[in-house]
Amino acid sequence: MFNIADFSSNLNKFGTIQTNKFLIVIPAPKILGPTSLDKVIPYRASNVRIPGVTFDFQRVFRYGVGPEQKFPTNVNFTDISINFIDTVDNDIWKRFAIWFNGIFDFTGRSGGSHASYKTEYKDYYATEVRIYVYDNEAILRNVVVLKDAFPTSLGDVNLSWSDNNKLYEFTVGFAFKEWYYDGYALQEFQSGASLAAGSSSQVQPNRTESPRPGPTVRPEIYGPPVPQINPNRSQGGPLLTPGMGQGLRTPQANRNRASGFFTPEQEAEFNRLSQQ
């Protein structure tokens, strides 16, 4: 039953996070090189969306007919856009214009030379964009990293004599190879058990190459792993790998047998165990 006191207690205990405290870092790609403007841009990015993710699915009929089931076959990421408030020298807009031309030469490299209409190698124009999310106490709570990111669109800017108090703003669209939560493999994400335990640790902006945790297997649902034929059987070893004999008596094994997934040797061992 819903209890307003419990609801309020939960909000007070675990808190909330707002969407207006963030910082975006866009290191210069090789075709641009680092400049003092790199330290200005993070303070001029006024709006951004953390990217989303969607799956492609293969629709499969459970029994050849009847209700469909969806099985993920691929992953897609949504592109993002960042809004910038420019400097008095219009430097940020100029920097992105140079970046675009460096990706695909459509104006000539320099000095008004003719455009080559050639595409640069991605290693030279892609970079790693980082989005830092903070709470109301300026504590870092999340870091989202976009790998191999590069601009895909430079929005037009409307100029008007009547806009006396309007700032020079423009939007840049970005594509990227993939994104991830930095620190995901180092510690539990700030939810679930870590929140219940009152954890106050924060996500650290240090990337890790550690393998990410895999899904937990629930033996009470799936039963023990399906036994495999012992590769050393030719040397006189047992037919099945050690400790796996009981796996042939599980409901999962029965389903595999019925589906024709057993080899002849597994079928023989199944029959032998069934008679014991």
pTM, entire model: 0.64
Do 154 and 243 fall into the same domain? no
Task: Note the pLDDT tens digit of each residue in 154-164.
Answer: 999 999 999 99
Would you place residue 65 in the very low, low, confident or very high pLDDT band (cuts 50, 70, 90)? confident
* Whole-number Å distance between alpha carbons of 21 and 96: 24
pLDDT of residue 222: 33
Do 163 and 252 fall into the same domain? no
Q: Say whether pLDDT at 105 is over 60.
A: yes
- CB distance 257 to 273 below 8 Å: no
Do 70 and 125 fall into the same domain? yes
* Whole-number Å distance between alpha carbons of 76 and 178: 9
- CB distance 202 to 220 below 8 Å: no
Q: Which sign, positive or negative, has the C-alpha torsion 92, 97, 99, 100?
A: positive
pLDDT of residue 21: 92
Three-class SS of 56-124: EEEEEECCCCCCEEEEEEEEEECCEEEEEECCCCCHHHHHHHHHHHHHECCCCCCCCCCCCCCECCHHH
For residue 207, tell me if it sits in a domain.
no
Do 125 and 61 fall into the same domain? yes
Would you place residue 247 in the very low, low, confident or very high pLDDT band (cuts 50, 70, 90)? very low
What is the count of structural domains for the chain? 2
Length of the chain in terms of residues written: 276
- CB distance 26 to 129 below 8 Å: yes
- CB distance 254 to 248 below 8 Å: no
* Whole-number Å distance between alpha carbons of 99 and 93: 10
Residue percentage of the chain with pLDDT more than 90: 43
CATH number at residue 13: 2.30.110
pLDDT of residue 137: 87
Q: Say whether pLDDT at 259 is over 90.
A: no
pLDDT of residue 67: 85
Would you place residue 261 in the very low, low, confident or very high pLDDT band (cuts 50, 70, 90)? very low
pLDDT of residue 268: 67
Do 191 and 237 fall into the same domain? no
* Whole-number Å distance between alpha carbons of 43 and 87: 11
For residue 201, tell me if it sits in a domain.
no
Q: Say whether pLDDT at 208 is over 80.
A: no
Q: Say whether pLDDT at 246 is over 70.
A: no
> Regarding predicted confidence, which is higher, 152 or 140?
152
